[in-house]
Structure 1
């Protein structure tokens, strides 16, 4: 018996290389979703990982850090915010 495939539609999904938490600590949206500034998830708003081991959408943490009341500190642990890595999409 021989089977001929006449058409095939591929479906793909992607996910961030996730940190321990599954939501951004600022906007509370899932990492593989969009932040409040984005229309689509992906490279336009990567995840940024800080020295303190907390991770946020790029737009969220940039808005947070620019706020005068943040004093340049992580919103979760209040340590000085320093970017260690940009979490890439696989």
Structure 2
């Protein structure tokens, strides 16, 4: 029996390689979601990890570090970034 494929539709999904219950320590949104500044998750808002192994959306941690009171410390454990 010979089969001919006439049409093919690819479907894909992506996920960050993080545990499902992890959320951004600043905005409290899941990593597969977006921060408050982005419309779509993905390359425009990657995850950044500090020396203390806490992860955050890029825009969330940039805003945190720019605050005068943060002194470039992790918002979760207060270690130096």
Structures share a fold, TM > 0.5?
Answer: yes
Q: Secondary structure at the match of 1:61?
A: helix
What corresponds to 2:66 in structure 1? 66
TM-score by length of 2: 0.87
Q: Which has the higher strand share?
A: 1
Distance 2:2 2:17 in 1: 41
Instruction: After TM superposition, give the deviation of residue 3 of structure 1 in Å.
Output: 3.0
TM-score under structure 1 length normalisation:
0.80
Name stretches of at least 5 consecutive residues in structure 2 with no aligned partner: none
SS in 2 for 1:60: helix
Number of equivalences:
81
RMSD over aligned Cα, in angstroms? 1.7
8 Å Cα contact 1:73-1:79 kept in structure 2: yes
Partners of 2:8 and 2:22 lie apart in 1 by 33
Q: Structure 1's 21 and 80: CA in aligned 2 closer, same or farther, altered over 3 A?
A: farther
CA distance in 2, matches of 1:9, 1:20: 28
Quote the residue 1:50 is aligned against.
50
CA 1:21 to 1:70, structure 2 compared with 1: closer, same or farther past 3 Å? farther
Q: Which residue of 2 is the match for residue 39 of structure 1?
A: 39
| Cα distance, 1:65–1:20 mapped onto 2, change above 3 Å | farther
Unaligned runs of 5+ in 1: 82-90
Cα drift, residue 36 of structure 1: 0.7
